[in-house]
Structure 1
Amino acid sequence: MTAFFAAEPEEAEALREALEATTPLEAPFPLHQGEGVLVAETGVGKVACALAVAHVLTRFAPKGSFFLGVAGALDPALRALDLLLAQRAVQWDVDLTPFGRAPGETALGVRFFPSDPRLLARAEAAARALGFPHRLGVVATGDRFLQDPEEAKRLRALHGADAVEMEGAAALMVAYRFRHPMALVRIVTDGAGEGAALDFQAFLREASRRLGRLARALLPYTEGG
């Protein structure tokens, strides 16, 4: 079984439709099952995300997972609806620097949590087959919607991040602790600067539709082992 996670209701609905995950399961968040797949709507933010991922991994022990969703671009070369295949993600709002840690470094001694390379390669192959513009990169995660262009520049310089969002590093951190293969894929909806909230709403529906198509395209790869 493969698990698919998304934070926003629109994202999760698109995944459920694309994957035909119509059977609701009992969980402290919306969770649906289809043939060989689970679709979890985690809710927004790191805590909600970590709860949902830990619940699914503990209760269902899926073979692998994909976290799909939207993000704001930090790299000005990224355009709306581009896919960013996250090689790793950092929690930009974690600050233990008074204790000698690097910015974003957790108490585990880990700063960047990685996507599973094999699953990320599958996502890249699926994106290529669909003709979706895509690239590899780094994601910065924090519990705040970023719309300050100067802060966006700072995060890019500090972490080498290409996009910013609110769940990915938390999901990958849980996967890391569970030794579970997971890949993080984000699609750009805004520029993480002034006007980001309006851009986010404008592109959310189309972005979610594309994520559904990507999830559907991933099925032959996930079923292939």
Structure 2
Amino acid sequence: MSYQFAHFEMLSRKVLVKPSDKATKSKKWNIKETIDEATRRNPDACLHVENPGKPVLVFGQDLEALEREHEQACDGAVDVQKNGKSRKIRSTQNTMACIVLSWPGEMDADCKRWQARSVKWLQDTYGDQLKTVIRHDDEAFPHLHAFIVPDDLKAISLHPGDSAKQKAKADGLSPKEQNEAYKQSFRDWQDSYWDKVGKPSGLTRIGPGRRRLTR
């Protein structure tokens, strides 16, 4: 039985390292590092790949062109503060989103149909903000990397969980209700992908959970 895999991540030009990140020693990649791994396949950026190969451009412009366009947009973007003054946006602001979608099998006719459905779902969901989709065939399973640049350069507006949580907070809901809004919105996002892509591709929505034992 095969399960769908859809992962959403927000990216910035410079990573803001939080104390919790240092404690867990978690590594967050900036936009350049992500593009290095995705398209240039620089050895230092993809140590997990035994024989890095050139990615396949599935939709939109190549990532290096997107990188240049994104930099130009960020250089010209400003934030209006509460006091009315303007300043350039922070380099740590999440200005791009990356979605990874994986096919649990070989690169065959079924995979190509899954790919076409995935790109259609991405276009329907993000419209013109979807800039590039590439495919990697040099790892265990074929998978897509979709890069999305929001019109306002605020990737949080695209994040299904964070945007719902921020709305719940603005509506005066409790922290518990905000967290539930976050989780429900992400479930809805996964459900949408499964309805349009996973189900017609023969994938199961939810994988095996952890075995629950009594104390």
TM-score, scaled to structure 2: 0.31
Structure-1-length-normalised TM-score: 0.30
- Structure showing greater radius of gyration is 2
More strand by share: 1
